[in-house]
């Protein structure tokens, strides 16, 4: 009886941990986006230029806000989101 009880407790803890992990993982895209924006602004603030794609064109952006055209790019290719469960 004790083994069954302990097994149920462990399963409940694993489910809770999985739900918590899923919750935390849902914030990864938001955190990554914020980190990219911060790095972009940090680079400009430090006096460096950054490279950015605007409407399928690559530009070098300078700290004073000016931009220099570099070249055209291929249009973005959208892919379907696939989820795999292990």
pLDDT of residue 5: 60
| 68-85: pLDDT as tens digits | 999 999 887 888 877 777
pLDDT at 81: 77
Q: Report the pLDDT averaged over residues 25-38.
A: 87
Q: Can you give the pLDDT at residue 65?
A: 93
Taking the CA atoms of residue 7, residue 12, residue 16 and residue 21 in that order, the dihedral angle to the nearest 10 degrees is: 30
Q: Which residue has the tokens 């006096």?
A: 47
Q: Where are the beta strands (DSSP E) in 1-86?
A: 50-54, 57-61, 67-72
> pTM here?
0.61
63, 56 contact by CB (below 8 A): no
Mean pLDDT over residues 34-57, rounded? 94
**59 torsion bin: left (phi>0), alpha (psi -120 to 50), beta (else):** beta
């Amino acid at each position: 009886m004790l083994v069954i009880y302990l097994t149920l407790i462990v399963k409940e803890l694993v489910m809770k941990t999985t739900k918590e992990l899923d919750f935390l993982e849902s914030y990864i895209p938001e955190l990554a986006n914020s980190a990219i924006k911060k790095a972009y602004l940090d680079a400009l603030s430090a006096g460096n230029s950054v490279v950015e794609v605007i409407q399928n064109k690559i530009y070098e952006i300078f700290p004073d806000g000016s931009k220099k055209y570099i070249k055209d790019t291929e249009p973005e290719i959208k892919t379907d989101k696939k989820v795999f469960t292990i």
